Amino acid sequence: MSPKTASTMKSRCLNTSLDLNLGTLGHMKEEETPKREYVGDLPHVDGKSSVKEEYEKAGLLVEELHRMSSENKRLTEMLVHVCENYNALQSHLKDLVKSKHTEQESMNSRKRKADSDYHGNMIGINGNNECSSSDEESRKRPKEETIKTKVKRFCVRSSDTSNNSLPVQDGYQWRKYGQKVTRDNPSPRAYFKCSFAPSCPVKKKVQRSAEDPSFLVVTYEGEHNHHKNPSQVEVSLGLSQCENLESPSISASMRSSAPTTVTLDLVQPAGLHDGAKKSNQEVESPAFQQFLVQQMASSLTKDPNFTSALAAAISGRILDYTMN
């Protein structure tokens, strides 16, 4: 998480805590606290209180105000801590779901024969060498050809669901070489090869999501061995995108949230082996961070477990406070 996100998150938590304090503690201040604190300590007000007594009363009130402020601060810090823990748990859960999906996909995927240049480079999504080629094929291939390549999947929101050409502008030039209707999806899957450089082994598959036709599922395989068209270095798709289709929460939340244009560099320059790192940098763009913050805040406010836990924590604190 970037510092900006953390600070935004913290500020949101602070806002929430302030609201809570205004509601809860303000209520307590009026009804409970004065009774407990002042009974016995304060002189009886019979209409003839001296100025000195009034000063003492004011001093007690100031002291009480300070106590309330410090308690407010403690609650705020506690809430920030709860927010951080919740966020950490959520990201951990996301990672678990993601790894589970990846594992399942690698189990289900059937590696087909492809052209020899490309086939020797197949790996799994996580960059693990999951090439499932047969032993015969392994024997045919020289060992030096078993170079890892990247397989990346993206979810792209397309505003035009009627367009069957499945256009995804990413700065490279693609030649369509096939189209197939797959079993699990009524929408046809289009197959593209990079035509910018004749020897470029990169392939791309584009298919509309079966769940939501407004989303395009783009799968990139391989890495470009050339630079992209300079005139298209930064291509804003005019679409909302989210990386990593294996994260259903993000995809779903993207659907539910207001349209947000996020520019992602979907491709890696030639010879770059830190493609994932670059993608992470893109994901950590301010727009994407803002989206994440919104999702976190939304998750926090909508999650009944979180709200109940927070209420329990605060009520426990209040009980401790009233008992002391």
Partner DNA sequence: CGGCTTTGACCTGCGC
Partner DNA sequence: GCGCAGGTCAAAGCCG
> Where does this chain bind DNA (CB under 7 A)?
110-115, 118, 132, 134, 137, 164-165, 173-180, 182-184, 189-191, 195, 203, 205
Looking at the Cβ atoms of 182 and 257, the one nearer to DNA is: 182
Write down the least CB distance from residue 228 to DNA, Å.
Answer: 15
Give the whole-angstrom CA distance, residue 93 versus residue 304: 17
Q: Nearest to residue 202, comparing CAs of 182, 228, 179, 181?
A: 228
Looking at the Cβ atoms of 137 and 284, the one nearer to DNA is: 137
Looking at the Cβ atoms of 13 and 122, the one nearer to DNA is: 122
Q: Nearest to residue 216, comparing CAs of 254, 178, 189, 246?
A: 189
Write down the least CB distance from residue 117 to DNA, Å.
Answer: 10
Looking at the Cβ atoms of 12 and 119, the one nearer to DNA is: 119
Looking at the Cβ atoms of 133 and 299, the one nearer to DNA is: 133
Q: What is the DSSP letter of 285?
A: S
Looking at the Cβ atoms of 170 and 254, the one nearer to DNA is: 170
Q: What is the DSSP letter of 151?
A: E
Q: What does R_g of the chain's alpha carbons equal in angstroms?
A: 29
Write down the least CB distance from residue 292 to DNA, Å.
Answer: 31
Write down the least CB distance from residue 320 to DNA, Å.
Answer: 59
Write down the least CB distance from residue 187 to DNA, Å.
Answer: 12
- Residue 237's Cβ-side half-sphere holds a number of Cα atoms within 13 Å equal to 27
Write down the least CB distance from residue 24 to DNA, Å.
Answer: 56
Looking at the Cβ atoms of 142 and 304, the one nearer to DNA is: 142
Write down the least CB distance from residue 205 to DNA, Å.
Answer: 6
Looking at the Cβ atoms of 132 and 322, the one nearer to DNA is: 132
Tokens of 112: 């087909």
Q: Check if the beta carbon of residue 243 is closer than 8 Å to that of residue 231.
A: no
Q: Which residues contact 220 (CB under 8 A, 6 or more apart)?
A: 150, 151, 152, 153, 154, 202, 203, 204, 266, 267
Q: Check if the beta carbon of residue 240 is closer than 8 Å to that of residue 254.
A: yes
Helices within the chain (DSSP H only): 3-20, 26-31, 33-38, 51-108, 116-119, 135-140, 248-256, 275-283, 286-302, 304-323
- Give the rounded distance of the alpha carbon of 249 from its chain centre: 8
Q: Check if the beta carbon of residue 152 is closer than 8 Å to that of residue 275.
A: yes
Write down the least CB distance from residue 291 to DNA, Å.
Answer: 30
